[in-house]
Structure formats: structure tokens, C-alpha cells
Amino acid sequence: MSNLDNMLQKAITSIPECVAAGYVDLSSGMLLGIKSVDSHPNSVVELLAAATADLFQGPNVQAIEKLFRSARGVAEDGQHYFQEVIVNSENLIHVFLRGKKQEQVACFVCRKGANLGMVLTKARMSMPEIEMSL
């Protein structure tokens, strides 16, 4: 098991009601690692990286960020405005956190009954170890 896999597994055990964790490289569009307490169809796993890239760097998101920078008089410096995204589905909480290097995103999936504040706190706390594992 790779060090990234170990850190994703550690995150799953520390984040309340967490059932899956993944790490996506936005520049290559690759899923670098995934851990889950359940098995998921390959079709779902394969789409995770693409969906995450669209969520953080899709054409509409890039257009919004460009407008924000222009309106604020900020130069194009590679920094992104969208750092965290939370998606509540029917039964789950999906938390996406952009890494400090801006090119990777961690994805955490928790059961809907989890305390969102604790999920965010523990997910944020897990990021430095996940990022250093590469």
C-alpha cells in the first residue's frame, strides 16, 4: 500500500461517518488514489477525477474566476478562488478540498447524518498529511 493510500485510509478513520476518500490531480485529470469502506462500480470511480476537475476548473468556473480577478484588479497569478466545495446528496455529504499547491483536490464522502462542522474540521486537518504523502 502506498503512503497516499495510507493517508487516505487514516483520513477515513478520523473524519466522522466517512465512507470514502480520493485524491485527484487536476493538471493531469488522474485519480491518484482512492480508499473506500464499500466497493463502488468502476464507472463511478473512473468519473470521479473528471467530475472533480470540472467542478474546480471547468470552463464556467475559469470564466467566473477570471471575472473576479478582473473586477478586483488582480493579476492572473494561477491562484483559484474555489478552494472548498460541499455537495449534499440524498444520503451523503461530499467534501472537496483543494490542496495548497492548487493542483490537487481531496474528496471525502460521508454519511448524511455526520456533523458537517466536524467533517470539515477533520477533513481540513487531514490535508497536510495527504499532500505530503506524494
What grid cell was written down for 27?
493538471
Say what the pTM is: 0.90
> Residue 30: pLDDT above 80?
yes
Specify the DSSP element, H or E, that contains 124: helix 116-132
Is residue 117 over pLDDT 60?
yes
Q: Can you read off the three cell numbers belonging to residue 44?
A: 463511478
The parent domain of residue 119 ranges over 3-132
Confidence of residue 41 (pLDDT cuts 50, 70, 90): low
How many domains is the chain built from?
A: 1
Instruction: Look up the CATH number of the domain holding residue 87.
Output: 3.30.450.30
pLDDT digits (tens, 9 = 90+) for 72-111: 888 887 678 889 999 999 999 999 999 998 899 999 999 9
